[in-house]
A and B are shown apart, each in its own frame.
Chain A
Amino acid sequence: MLNAVGREIPEEILRMTGKEVFQGNGHYDGIVYRKHGPKTTCVINSGGSKLKKTIQEVLVECGIRDGMTVSFHHHFRDGDYIVNMVMEEIHAMGIKNITICASSLGKAHDPIVPYIEDGTITGIYSSGVRGKIGEAVSGGKLKGLAVMCSHGGRVRAIETGEVQIDIAFIGAPTCDEYGNCRGIGGRSNCGVLSYAMADAGYADRVVAITDCLVPFPNFPAHISMTQVDYVVEVEAIGDPAKIATGAAKPTTDQRKLLMAEYCTKFVVNTPYFKDGFSYQTGVGGASIASTVFLAREMKKRNIRMRFGVGGLTKPMCDLLINGQTDCLLDTQDFDLAAVESVKDLHHFRISAGEYANPFNKGAVVNKLDFVILAALEVDVHFNCNVVVGSDGVIAGAQGGHPDTAAGAKCAIVVTPLSQGRIPAVCTEVTTVTTPGESIDVVITDYGIAINPARPDLIQAMKNVDLPFRSIEELRDIAYAITGRPEKVQFMDRVVGIIESRDGTIMDVVRQVKPFMFSEERV
């Protein structure tokens, strides 16, 4: 069945998953549903401690068995030890058919690929998969489907009970023996625990794993003891150097600087750039440079930001330090400066649900004026792909891309026109992750295209000296440089689903076919 972004979703997949096809961002507005409740084991007499000695012991206590769903959060990014440590134990116990419900999986988790191959792990529900897991999934090694969700969509799935978590594992930089978790104060700090909050609230069993046990009460708790069944102390939960890096050096790449300059000029000429505006951006070089340039313009024009949202980095936290924003709303910290900033009274920790869940009574993304995003590919319909590489292999994650793009009044995608030989602006993206209706403008080093669905923005830019072009013109320039790309060759088998924020199917990902030259003689 054809969906609202023109993708054919096989009937078989609709039957298998019980899902519907994507019918537009606002399709389910106002829908009424009852939330899922976790099976809760009350703790009346515990002797005052929930400590268990080993992961194995806690798995037994939680009644681990075949077919369960276990969950993880990705605040430790490439420095995460938790997923591998837990899955190693589950594998050693001979458990099969586990579904991993992680807020994201990255190259830190390459070691679990053998568990996919031997049937320990047969399902994945995650923002995305990178590295060797992505290759394994695209190569058809996962028995079930990999469902790729947005950060907000994941909370929706958990709260509606579409995904039911049996055991949630929370990596806690500090924790007391009663389960109060914090993202700061320990050796492996990640700042906040936002993505794990839905897990803590809705999983039947919740296990905190820490490498820094502190005296009770570990307050103010980021995740409360009232939600935690067990606590396990281990030697290390992550590699601090890879969890929060030092501040990224300001980019010197002229292409990125040019795009950042275009981006800032665009932003300041929109009607939304006025005192009290709100803003979110990512961690790419161009995004960070845009924030730095924007801060300069704000100072010059005496304009203050009301709130900044992230995925936070130093340049965003500098806005708070320099009094250029009233507050920051934080779901994840990418560098040490952002982790440190969590202690600031105007730096608010928010849950992934507060951040982006489309099925609660209103999330932060809906209050965004600007979001600045990247993309692997964007097509002439403004559809974006941030999950599947141009070679057809899953290599990224949805993250908050579809959430913020849908919510923000002005969603800007910044991307170089080509990355090596891969054109970023193309006729049709390999896989749709964010629908074109969410994207308002595409900024490249060769020009800027405003979505024709936004005549107001086109009007606002009428006398602005920027290289405006149509999206088709941008694609033509890209193809003139790189050549026209051929479509990637796929097998029939669907290995993954791009789930839209509301749980419908945006697109499917198929198993990749090894490349074969075409038969035509040359």
Chain B
Amino acid sequence: MKVLRSATAGTLESSDCQVTVEPGEGGIELALESVVISQFGNQIRRVVYETLERMGIVDIKISIVDKGALDCTIRARVEGAVFRANGKTEDLPWGGLIR
């Protein structure tokens, strides 16, 4: 899947995260801001990269403002932002690419 335009998903509420994606410049570029960065920064990065890899994304600028979201939430927000950036908002592959 490809990131064709910029898109966002998520909120800045506690235990959520806001993910903004836009087309990359030849690679994955992650900017992370998190209230739990000192304890979960590496874990969040791992989840983001795994999610992007699963979706076949290799070229993306992704910025995340995290308010203490759990892994499942981060995954869902990344998937949401990527699908929106791809223009796909209907007939989503629940249980397939979206877990």
Residues of A that sit less than 8 Å from B by CB: 390-392, 420-422, 481-489, 512, 515, 517-518, 522
Contact = CB atoms under 8 A, between A and B. Distances in A.
Interface stretch (B40-48, B79-87, B88-96): B40-48
6 nearest A-B pairs in the assembled complex, by CB-CB distance: A420-B68, A485-B39, A421-B68, A488-B38, A522-B49, A515-B37
A454 to B, nearest CB: 30
B40 A486 contact: yes
A253 B68 CA distance: 19
Given A420-B15, A485-B40, A522-B50, 15 more contacts: A390-B36, A390-B39, A392-B38, A420-B14, A420-B67, A421-B15, A421-B36, A421-B39, A421-B69, A422-B36, A483-B43, A485-B36, A489-B38, A515-B38, A517-B45
A421 B42 contact: no
B69 to A, nearest CB: 7
Nearest to B37: A515
Contacts of B43: 483-484, 486
Contacts, number: 58
B41 A517 contact: yes
20 contacts: A390-B36, A391-B35, A391-B38, A391-B39, A392-B38, A421-B36, A421-B68, A421-B69, A483-B43, A483-B70, A483-B71, A484-B43, A486-B40, A486-B41, A487-B39, A488-B38, A517-B41, A518-B42, A522-B45, A522-B46
Nearest to A521: B49
A512 B39 CA distance: 13
A315 B19 CA distance: 44
Interface in B8-55: 14-15, 35-43, 45-46, 49-50
A79 B34 CA distance: 31
Given A483-B71, A522-B49, A422 B39 contact: yes
Interface residues of B, number: 20
A420 B35 contact: yes
Contacts of B41: 486, 515, 517
Main SS class of interface, A = loop
A489 B41 CA distance: 11
B41 to A, nearest CB: 5
Contacts of A487: 39
Contacts of A421: 15, 36, 39-40, 68-70
A46 B15 CA distance: 62
Interface of B: 14-15, 35-43, 45-46, 49-50, 67-71
Contacts of B14: 420
A488 B41 CA distance: 10
Given A517-B42, A517-B45, A518-B42, A422 B68 contact: yes
A146 to B, nearest CB: 20
A158 to B, nearest CB: 35
Contacts of A482: 40, 70
A181 B3 CA distance: 69
A323 to B, nearest CB: 42
A502 to B, nearest CB: 31
A522 B68 CA distance: 21
A495 to B, nearest CB: 16
Nearest to A489: B38
Contacts of A489: 38
A390 B41 CA distance: 13
B12 to A, nearest CB: 13
Contacts of B49: 522
Contacts of B46: 522
Contacts of A392: 38
Contacts of B71: 483
A72 to B, nearest CB: 31
Contacts of A515: 37-38, 41
A488 B38 CA distance: 5
Given A421-B15, A517-B45, A522-B49, A486 B39 contact: yes
B40 A483 contact: yes
Contacts of B36: 390-391, 420-422, 485
Contacts of A517: 41-42, 45
B52 to A, nearest CB: 10
A420 B40 CA distance: 12
A488 B45 contact: no
A332 to B, nearest CB: 29
A305 to B, nearest CB: 37
A260 to B, nearest CB: 22
A390 B35 CA distance: 10
A285 to B, nearest CB: 16
A32 B35 CA distance: 48
Nearest to A389: B38
B57 to A, nearest CB: 14
Nearest to B69: A421
A512 B37 CA distance: 13
A518 B45 CA distance: 10
A392 B36 CA distance: 11
Contacts of B68: 420-422
A421 B50 CA distance: 20
Contacts of A484: 43
Contacts of A422: 36, 39, 68
A488 B39 contact: yes
B44 to A, nearest CB: 9
Contacts of A485: 36, 39-40
Which of B14, B35, B38 has the most CB atoms of chain A within a 10 A radius of its CB?
B38
